[in-house]
Amino acid sequence: MNDRIIIIGAGAWGDALSKLTQINGCEPTIWSRSCGRVLSEMITDRVAIISAVSMSGVPAIIDRLHGAIEPNQIIVTATKGLDARTNLTPAQLWHQAFPNNPIVVLSGPNLSLEIQQGLPAATVVASHDVDAANTIQTIFSSPKFRVYTNDDPIGVELGGTIKNVIAIAAGTCDGLKLGDNAKSALLTRGLAEIIRIGQYWGGKPETFYGLSGLGDLLTTCNSPLSRNYQVGYGLAQGQTLSEVLANLKGTAEGVNTTKVLIQIADSNQIYMPITVLVDRLLQGQITAPEAIVALMSRDRKSE
Ligand SMILES: NC(=O)c1ccc[n+]([C@@H]2O[C@H](COP(=O)([O-])OP(=O)(O)OC[C@H]3O[C@@H](n4cnc5c(N)ncnc54)[C@H](O)[C@@H]3O)[C@@H](O)[C@H]2O)c1
Ligand SMILES: O=P(O)(O)OC[C@H](O)CO
């Protein structure tokens, strides 16, 4: 299987995933927009096609691959975002375009810099196709990377995606130096919010307590390496969103994910108080201290 993997996207995550497969003796081909080669010509005979592009690039990559993928090829999506045009997840977009292919979602608490440094980590590969999940587990498993299979791809995908919104809130909380009590309250209520909308979308509640939900929430909300956390931290310092994004290395998917979540929550009456305030903060309609006051002064309720 040495050279039969292709990774699409040479950003921070595509590079880290490539390194993980190399530990197992794979020699993956990496495709990026700037490599000068035709993607559809490079996927012939690949066992797995691994997409690690940011959300904004997923529709364009799918377009490039139309008519080129064989039904037995496994599509792995490692993107953590939501499509602003359709409100679909990346795995749903891939499935819509390639309904006969096995789709595997790869997601977990996986900061790329720590993985590049050779530090240990764990992740989840989720699919309705057990054989496909097992194949991807074998490709990535190593003493540095523990890979669990899972049969709830939508739950795994949404955990890793929605936590980015809570990570923006967590960065804001730390930027304002609100302390550990406030942070724990935010993360716990943030998880409740993730489960509420995640279940509506079809995810299993227990999935959100696993690595791709709670696990990734803890990593992203506690690490200054997280770009989403950095967005919240910068806003708490009084920077505008444009100023924060201008200095950010790479993509903070939570910014666009917030917009999509607000639309879904609004049209389905799903209560998402943290997401609503993150949205208002990102839009510059409210300051970080005002967002905290608004969160704390809501109507009393039971847990
Ligand atoms: N960096 C991490 O620690 C990490 C970990 C897990 C998951 N992710 C997720 O992986 C995805 C990519 O993250 P990243 O950190 O590599 O981001 P990045 O900003 O470093 O890289 C994004 C990549 O997507 C490519 N891309 C964007 N639009 C494209 C298009 N239209 N056509 C072709 N390629 C396009 C870019 O060229 C680049 O290679 C995100 O959804 C992110 O949430 C990142
Ligand atoms: O840098 P972020 O905020 O995109 O976080 C990276 C990963 O999602 C952490 O698992």
Domain housing 181: 154-296
- Closest-CA residue, ligand 1 atom 27, reads 57
Report pLDDT for 2. 59
Residues 220 and 140 in one domain: no
Going by pLDDT thresholds of 50, 70 and 90, the confidence category of residue 57 is: very high
For ligand 2, the distance from its centroid to the CA atom of residue 158, given in whole angstroms, is 13
CB proximity list for 54: less than 8 A, separation 6 or greater? 9, 11, 79, 81, 251, 253
The number of residues in the chain equals: 303
163 marked as binding residue: yes
Cβ of 56 less than 6 Å from ligand 1 = yes
Report pLDDT for 94. 98
pLDDT digits (tens, 9 = 90+) for 89-129: 999 999 999 999 999 999 999 999 999 999 999 999 999 99
- The strands making up 145-150's β-sheet, listed across from edge to edge, are 29-31, 5-8, 48-51, 74-77, 103-107, 121-126, 145-150
Domain boundary among 92, 124, 151: 151
Q: Which atom of ligand 1 is nearest to the CA of 8?
A: 34
Residues 22 and 123 in one domain: yes
Which of 31, 35, 54, 216 has most ligand 1 atoms within 8 Å of its beta carbon, as the pocket-test mutant?
54
Cβ of 255 less than 6 Å from ligand 1 = no
Residues 258 and 189 in one domain: yes
Counted domains in the chain: 2
Going by pLDDT thresholds of 50, 70 and 90, the confidence category of residue 299 is: very high
Cβ of 54 less than 6 Å from ligand 1 = yes
Report pLDDT for 270. 98
Cβ of 80 less than 6 Å from ligand 1 = yes
DSSP state letter for 142: B
Please give the positions annotated as active site.
163
Report pLDDT for 1. 59
State the CATH number of the domain containing residue 266. 1.10.1040.10
pLDDT digits (tens, 9 = 90+) for 14-47: 999 999 999 999 999 999 999 999 999 999 999 9
ipTM associated with this complex: 0.98
302 falls within a domain: no
Torsion angles phi and psi, residue 124, rounded to 5? -125, 135
CB proximity list for 3: less than 8 A, separation 6 or greater? 26, 27, 28, 29
253 marked as binding residue: yes
48-51 and 29-31 beta bridge pairing: unpaired
What is the C-alpha separation between 301 and 240, in angstroms, rounded?
33
pLDDT digits (tens, 9 = 90+) for 239-274: 999 999 999 999 999 999 999 999 999 999 999 999
- Closest-CA residue, ligand 1 atom 24, reads 53
- 3-class DSSP state of 150: strand
210 falls within a domain: yes
Residues 221 and 128 in one domain: no
CB proximity list for 126: less than 8 A, separation 6 or greater? 104, 105, 107, 133, 149, 150, 151, 152, 153, 155, 156, 157, 212
- 3-class DSSP state of 146: strand
Going by pLDDT thresholds of 50, 70 and 90, the confidence category of residue 3 is: low
